[in-house]
Amino acid sequence: MMKFNAATLTFVLVCYATSIAQTNPKTVIEDFKPSTLNQPGKEYPQVNSQGYARFKIVAPAADSVRVSLGLGGRGGTKLQKVEDGSWMGTTEGPMDEGFHYYHVDVDGGTFNDPGALNFYGSTRWESGIEIPAHDQEFYALKDVPHGKVEQILFPSKSTNTSRRAFVYTPPGYDKDPSKKYPVLYLQHGWGEDETAWSNQGRANLIMDNLIAEGKIDPFLIVMTYGMTNEIKFGGLRNFDISPFQTVLVDELIPYIDANYRTVADKSHRAIAGLSMGGMETKMITLNKPDVFSYYGLLSGGTYSPEDIKEGADVKLIFLSSGSKERPEAVKSAAAALNEAGINAVSYVSEGTAHEFQTWRRSLHELAPLLFK
């Protein structure tokens, strides 16, 4: 049996400290700045150059304040009361690059951070924070020509209401009344809605920048609500795609083709979705093989060669994943599809999980492959 002495104990403690340091570096650089997604004039939340997030919540008489964002697990970040009646805390380590949802627990109630802008996710308007990414230029607001994000209200007989969609039209859309455009129908994930791809995803800025760089030919993007949020996790077995499929295929697409200058045929129509929107994409493309030619599943499953009907004329299947999800699944699925003679591309977003940075990057990779 090993005998402990002072030297051994020091060695053990140093090893322990080193092990902690590898995951939680103790040297937090004090260059925190307000998150770019803060409400106007708000100092907190803040982020530093390492990707740590720091929160400050005013609640002088509260007993406990916790922020849902943090490293692994469900614990989030517990804030400590400071002198002025506010609560402060910093994540234990750097967060992944890009956008994160979070909320604040105040004495057992779920609220938003009054300093942050709100984004619809988890079937509620959540707080959002932006961790600067090494590749953030591709979705930055730049001094280039900008397209529009148009809110439309389209008639839906099947749901007996006017439904909302957003349509990205590229710069110059209004200039040449003879030009017609292909269309990408782009779906959000569970808990989100038709605002997600513009607000969290910055789809319009990604397109503006790609067009300005001459990397893509302009196309329209249409974003509407996928009617996914009544579904509870685990309840997918009973999910019925038909109500949304009717809205999309029988109501929205004809409305878009009637009211925008589209090339209204299958070979100029794409559909993609993230997470549960990928599942919807797969269901709809398999049910309706004559509507779309380009399919994209962003962290949203895979197709197998057997899924694709003989003669379906699929021009592209795009499968993506964050490296912290199941990257091998999209790679092997794309390989199998290619082997079967179906044009498939996989993309893995390095260092990201099931979050919007994965999907921003996925759109950035997908867009140049469409309508070729």
Stretch that binds a copy of itself, among 22-30, 66-74, 120-128, 179-187 (CB under 8 A): 120-128
Nearer to a copy of itself, 146 or 315 (CB): 146
DSSP state of 116: B
Task: Tell me the closest approach of the beta carbon of residue 22 to a copy of itself, in angstroms.
Answer: 36
Among 73, 108, 235, 341, binds a copy of itself (CB under 8 A): 108
Residue count (the chain):
372
Question: Which of the ranges 12-20, 59-67, 292-300, 322-330 carries the binding residues for a copy of itself, by CB under 8 A?
Answer: 59-67
Q: Counting contacts by CB under 8 A, is residue 84 touching a copy of itself?
A: no
In degrees and rounded to multiples of 5, residue 57 shows phi and psi of: -125, 130
- 107, 63 Cβ separation under 8 angstroms: yes
Does residue 61 belong to the site contacting a copy of itself (CB under 8 A)? yes
**Residue number with CB closer to a copy of itself (142 or 215):** 142
Q: Are 143 and 212 within 8 A, CB to CB?
A: no
In this structure, what are the phi and psi dihedrals at residue 80, rounded to the nearest 5 degrees?
-110, 145
Single residue of 83, 84, 174, 310 touching a copy of itself by CB under 8 A: 174
Contact flag: residue 161 with a copy of itself (CB under 8 A): yes
Which 289-328 residues touch a copy of itself, going by CB under 8 A?
none
Q: Minimum Å distance from CB 277 to a copy of itself?
A: 17
Per rule CB under 8 A, is residue 101 in the interface with a copy of itself? no
> Distance (Å, rounded) from C-alpha 167 to C-alpha 190?
20
Determine the interface stretch with a copy of itself among 26-34, 117-125, 315-323, 349-357 (rule: CB under 8 A). 117-125
150/250 with CB nearer a copy of itself: 150
- Strand blocks (E) in the chain: 33-34, 46-47, 53-58, 65-67, 77-78, 80-81, 86-90, 98-102, 104-106, 109-111, 118-121, 124-131, 148-156, 161-169, 183-187, 220-224, 269-274, 294-298, 316-322, 344-349
- Residues 232 and 230: their CA atoms lie apart, in Å, by 6
62 binds a copy of itself (CB under 8 A): yes
88 sits near a copy of itself (criterion: CB under 8 A): no
Residue 196 has a CB neighbour count (10 Å cut-off) of: 26
| Contact range with a copy of itself by CB under 8 A, out of 91-99, 149-157, 270-278, 288-296 | 149-157
Can you state the angle between helices 356-366 and 203-212, rounded to 10 degrees?
30
Provide DSSP, 323-353: TTS-HHHHHHHHHHHHHTT--EEEEEETT--
How crowded is the C-beta side of 238, counted as CA atoms within 13 Å? 6
User: If binding is defined by CB under 8 A, does position 229 make contact with a copy of itself?
Assistant: yes
Between 204 and 358, CB nearer to a copy of itself: 204
Span interacting with a copy of itself, options 119-127, 277-285, 316-324, 352-360, rule CB under 8 A: 119-127
Check binding of 254 to a copy of itself (CB under 8 A): no
**Counts for the chain of helices (H) and strands (E), in that order:** 8, 20
Out of 37, 59, 207, 330, which residue is the one contacting a copy of itself (CB under 8 A)? 59
Contact between 348 and 323 (Cβ < 8 Å): yes
**Cα 351 from Cα 168, distance rounded (Å):** 29
| Nearer to a copy of itself among residue 127 and residue 349 (C-beta) | 127
Residue closer to a copy of itself by CB (options 94, 170) is: 170
Q: Taking CB under 8 A as the rule, does residue 235 contact a copy of itself?
A: no
Return residues touching a copy of itself (CB under 8 A): 39-41, 57-64, 85, 104, 106-112, 114, 117-118, 123-125, 141-143, 146, 148-155, 161-162, 174, 177, 193, 198, 204, 229, 259-260
